[in-house]
Amino acid sequence: NALPSTVVTSPESSTENEGASAPPVGIIMGSDSDLPVMALAAEVLESFGVPYELSVVSAHRTPERMVSYAQNAHKRGVKVIIAGAGGAAHLPGMVASLTPLPVIGVPVKGSHTDGLDSLLSIVQMPRGIPVATVAIQNATNAGLLAVRMLGVENAGLVEKMNEYQNKLKDMVLEKAERLET
Ligand code: RP5
């Protein structure tokens, strides 16, 4: 599971380091076992040149760390949080309840279940506390959604997203053409 070279890891102390200039995207996950999935979001951000930090923050095993991370992220300069978890996947929703930032939830498949449990745990939020939930294991879309959110204030990212979508379209059309000839 080699990670992209510009990964910025967030040490424990940085969760409370108010005033520091954090990268715009915080990728957090309930366990290091979620990393193979969550690395997909990191890869997307890397390809768009968006800096990020990567951290294990467990709602159940390190609840105080989760509270500290969520309450301080916006003060440190984080703009969007991507939170992945599996099973009783409380992390994205709890973090959303503690931060004013947009939270994108990634349901991670468990070793004994198909991930539907994680999906429902993350998507079924009560009115008032939204989590933008992507499909099971689809951290790629979480990364893309974060880029689109940051594009609200960054015309360069909007341009890159246009290019990305055009490339996607070309790829599909090439495949369709190969099939049809
Ligand atoms: C969740 O429990 C994590 O997000 C992970 O998906 C799942 C299993 O964690 P490990 O037992 O592999 O550490 O909190």
Provide the pLDDT for residue 11: 41
Report the residue among 34, 54, 94 best suited for mutation to probe ligand 1: largest number of ligand atoms under 8 A from its CB: 34
Closest CA to 31 of 62, 3, 68, 57: 57
Domain that holds residue 117: 8-154
143: tokens are 């990364």
| pLDDT > 90? residue 16 | no
| pLDDT > 50? residue 149 | yes
Compute the average pLDDT of residues 137-144: 98
85 Cα to the center of ligand 1, angstroms = 7
43 lies in some domain:
yes
Provide the pLDDT for residue 61: 98
Compute the average pLDDT of residues 116-142: 98
178 lies in some domain:
no
Q: What is the DSSP letter of 2?
A: P
42 lies in some domain:
yes
User: Which residue, judged by its Cα, is nearest atom 3 of ligand 1?
Assistant: 30
53 lies in some domain:
yes
Q: How many domains, in total, are found in the chain?
A: 1
Q: How confident is the model at residue 18 (pLDDT cuts 50, 70, 90)?
A: low
**CB of 105 closer than 6 angstroms to any ligand 1 atom:** no
Closest ligand 1 atom to the C-alpha of 34?
6
Burial class for 1, CB neighbours closer than 10 Å (0-12, 13-18, 19+): exposed
175 lies in some domain:
no
Compute the average pLDDT of residues 95-105: 98
Provide the pLDDT for residue 19: 61
* ipTM over 0.85 threshold: yes
CATH code of the domain covering residue 150: 3.40.50.1970
Whole-angstrom distance between the N-terminal and C-terminal Cα of the chain?
Answer: 38
Mean of all residue pLDDT scores within the chain: 92
pTM of this structure: 0.91
86 Cα to the center of ligand 1, angstroms = 6
**CB of 136 closer than 6 angstroms to any ligand 1 atom:** no
Task: Give per-residue pLDDT as tens, 22-70.
Answer: 999 999 999 999 999 999 999 999 999 999 999 999 999 999 999 999 9
Angle of CA points 5, 151, 80, to nearest 5°: 65
Task: Give per-residue pLDDT as tens, 61-77.
Answer: 999 999 999 999 999 99
